[in-house]
Amino acid sequence: MSKTLTTHVGSLPRSQEVVDFIFAREREEPFEQTAFDACMTQSVSATVGKQVAAGIDIVSDGETSKISYATYVKDRYSGFSGDSPRNAPADLKMFPGFLQRLADDGGTPQYARPMCTGDIRSKGQDELLKDINNLKAAMADHGAQRGFMNAASPGVISLFLQNDYYPNREAYLAALADVMKAEYETIIGSGLDLQLDCPDLALSRHMLFADLSDEAFVEVANLHVEALNHALENVPQDRVRVHICWGNYEGPHCCDISMDKVFSTLMSTKSRYVLFETSNPRHAHEWSVFQARKSEIPDDKILIPGVVDTTTNFVEHPELVAQRIEKFTNIVGAERVIAGSDCGFGTFAGFGAVDPDIAFAKLASLADGAKIATERA
């Protein structure tokens, strides 16, 4: 009987001390670098310990040191300045009262999103190496055997840090792919698995590309995958995870493109593992897409469906988690399914719909549900 392994998308709630340090850096306020580094080391150890205690098999550093999963790039690469246009998702624009309520309640994160205004160049890998060392040390301290580190895909960078320098989207994506290669390869070289966060393959449909047809958007998404796969040319596919999502926010999501329309695009990524939403009310039904298109799932792909929602404080019952897992094990077999989360629990520093303690309770329920699924396999 093969054990159903457990993981999640990557980001986790940060302590207030971590958030304060990150925003001091974000606002270019003075702070003590030694204290910053010590705080990150201690916080990563704590978050890995909580993951292990919850029963998570494949852990992350919670993206502790990053302001967000995508815009951290501006801190580690030059060529960005000013501010990118802010595009509210099309579904929220349909309900202006709800959008205003989010703004009034502080439900939308505030963070810098500069544009690309020059050649993109690495500032060095010191911050990346600190993240890697912190995660590996925490794994050793808490007995975690497998770990992964998140990195922004070329496409998601282009979504949040928009282009005002390169002649067209293709050139910008190519430049991003070339400069991000070293980050991806360094993560792999450390012994950790690499996760590429790619909401640009779904979320950007109802943000940046809301005026396109679905068919035209899929052509854009395919360009993004070409750039991503180019950046991964020296990376072994069996160490790569790709996460697709439609936006980690509670909202109507009635403009989300369907999984069916981006299915081929997702399957064409140079990755062994694919992570996707299948718990929230807008996408829970889409397990049936995988059933209907089973023959199009490459034999080497491992599915990591989200079996807990990351936008609600409900703690899923382990039996429901098990049922969600079994929908996919019945399609591709138990050995090709890992239980995951819909998205991250700390997408932006200091911002998250789920209470930090409840987030780890949800991960514990995820692990309990995976045990039930294993026993029934």
Task: Give 147's strand partners.
Answer: 59
pLDDT higher than 90, residue 64: yes
Among candidate residues 296, 298, 366, 279, the one with its CA nearest the CA of residue 336: 298
List of domains in the chain: 16-376 (3.20.20.210)
d(CA 342, CA 355): 16
CA distance 148 to 62: 10
The predicted model gives 309-337 an average pLDDT of 98
pLDDT reported for residue 106: 66
pLDDT digits (tens, 9 = 90+) for 85-96: 888 899 999 999
- pLDDT at residue number 77: 98
Whether 290 has a pLDDT exceeding 70, the answer reads yes
> How far is it, in rounded angstroms, from Cα 53 to Cα 71?
30
Which residues of the chain form beta strands (DSSP E)? 58-59, 77-81, 115-122, 146-152, 193-197, 240-243, 273-276, 302-305
First to last CA, the chain: 7
The answer, yes or no, to whether residue 38 has pLDDT greater than 90, is: yes
Mean local confidence (pLDDT), 240-256: 97
- Residues 324-363 have pLDDT tens digits of 999 999 999 999 999 999 999 999 999 889 999 999 999 9
Distances (CA, A) of 31 to 24, 25, 28, 110, 166: 7, 7, 9, 20, 34
At residue 117, what are phi and psi to the nearest 5 degrees? -125, 10
Task: Please report the pLDDT score of residue 109 as a whole number.
Answer: 66
pLDDT surpasses 90 at 56: yes
- pLDDT score, position 103: 80
**This prediction's pTM:** 0.97
